[in-house]
Amino acid sequence: MRISAVIHTYNREHLITETIDAVMAQTRPADEIVVLDDGSKDGTLDLLKERYGDKIKLVAHENSGCLAARKRAIDHASGDWIALCDSDDLWVENHLERLCDLHAALPEADMLFSNFEEFGSAAVSKDKFAAAGSAYWESFTAIDDSFIDMGTGIVAKFLEFNPVFPSATMFRMAAYEELGGIELSFNRILSSDADLTRRFGVRHQTACNKEITVRVRKDGENISGNSVANGLGRIRILRECIEHGEPFTDYRAEFEKTIEITAIRAMEGAFSFRDFEAFHVAAHHVSWARSPASLKIKRLIAGLPSPLRSLLVGIFGEKAATSRTVT
């Protein structure tokens, strides 16, 4: 197997070398490293040229957004397997080696991924897989103490809990192309990464490694830190998937349930942040009858004129959040 490590970056002059150096330090080296600079306005591009030269395949492109940049980077890859890495995350030195071991154990799988931990000022999870609970993993087939065969048709499981993160993922290029690649209509929408994961989960076999081989950075600069915006992005994407139909036709009920759960969480978060515009957007996806009692009261308050709303909102003991960087 020929592996292309694929990285897209934007204004990461202060972080990108740490990421690339970790990719280069793999015990099973990538066969090529593709780095796409998405129109950085700092010194990222010059730094990459000077530090790495022909050690990487460097592509420069005008700014197009995270999802479009990732797609363009993949388009420049020559490997039959694509290993993704965001430009602020770090691979543990045996990351690719363990994914190759997983491939050897289950060669028919088209998407492989590893467990990860978060680090940084906003880090929460030290073991992403553990957050799912033991019952989640017991529904799959254990290959050994580390590897799990998740099978196919697992979209509902990914909606229940998504353990997949781009920087921990490697997939077969042929399967990616069969799926039509990254859906660019979701470009610049938070929570868009999971769309490709769900499409793989419809019909392509998936396997994972329980060992933590990736460190995902979480700090104030991560746009994915805004939980309300992430929720609204997820709702928008899931709704469009339902309206489009294929390949999710058989999962409409699961999508509707997930949209409702996500909307309720977004409403609760938006109310605590006093973001009533976001509150009303999320409320559009939850019927009055399906709203919990406490949320019905908040819906009534959110619909009041601003002065009266401000007066009443303190009744619930809600304190305005000082930051939206929550996970």
Task: Tell me the one-letter amino acid at 171.
Answer: F
Which residues 6+ apart lie within 8 Å of 253 measured at CB? none
Pairing relationship of beta strands 81-84 and 206-217 according to DSSP bridges: unpaired
pLDDT at 223: 54
pLDDT at 224: 54
pLDDT at 225: 52
> Does the CA dihedral 156-193-116-75 come out positive or negative?
positive
Q: How far apart are alpha carbons 276 and 175 in whole angstroms?
A: 42
The DSSP bridge partners found for residue 142 are 148
Pair of tokens at residue 267: 């409403």
**CB burial class (10 A; 0-12, 13-18, 19+) of residue 18?**
middle
> 319: how many CB neighbours lie within 10 A of its CB?
8
- Can you give the pTM of this predicted structure? 0.90
From the list 138, 109, 112, the residue with the least C-alpha distance to 203 is 109
pLDDT at 226: 78
Q: Among 3.40.50.300, 3.90.420.10, 3.40.50.2300, 3.90.550.10, what is the CATH number of 3-221? A: 3.90.550.10
- Measured CA to CA in angstroms, residue 258 lies from 253, 262, 319 at distances of 9, 6, 28
**Residue 251 CB-half CA count within 13 A:** 25
Q: Are the CB atoms for 111 and 194 separated by under 8 Å?
A: no
Residues of the chain with CATH 3.90.550.10: 3-221
Pair of tokens at residue 69: 């940049």
What pLDDT tens digit does each residue of the chain (327 aa) get?
Answer: 999 999 999 999 999 999 999 999 999 999 999 999 999 999 999 999 999 999 999 999 999 999 999 999 999 999 999 999 999 999 999 999 999 999 999 999 999 999 999 999 989 999 999 999 999 999 999 999 999 999 999 999 999 999 999 999 999 999 999 999 999 999 999 889 999 999 999 999 999 999 999 999 998 665 555 789 999 999 999 999 989 878 899 999 999 999 999 999 999 999 999 999 999 999 999 999 999 999 999 999 999 998 888 888 766 655 443 333 332
From the list 235, 232, 233, 247, the residue with the least C-alpha distance to 175 is 247
Q: Are the CB atoms for 23 and 5 separated by under 8 Å?
A: yes
Q: Are the CB atoms for 2 and 29 separated by under 8 Å?
A: no
pLDDT at 191: 87
Q: How far apart are alpha carbons 136 and 128 in whole angstroms?
A: 12
| H-helix segments, 106-185 | 134-138, 155-160, 173-178
Q: How far apart are alpha carbons 136 and 233 in whole angstroms?
A: 25
Pairing relationship of beta strands 169-172 and 111-119 according to DSSP bridges: antiparallel
Q: What is the largest CA-CA distance in the chain?
A: 64
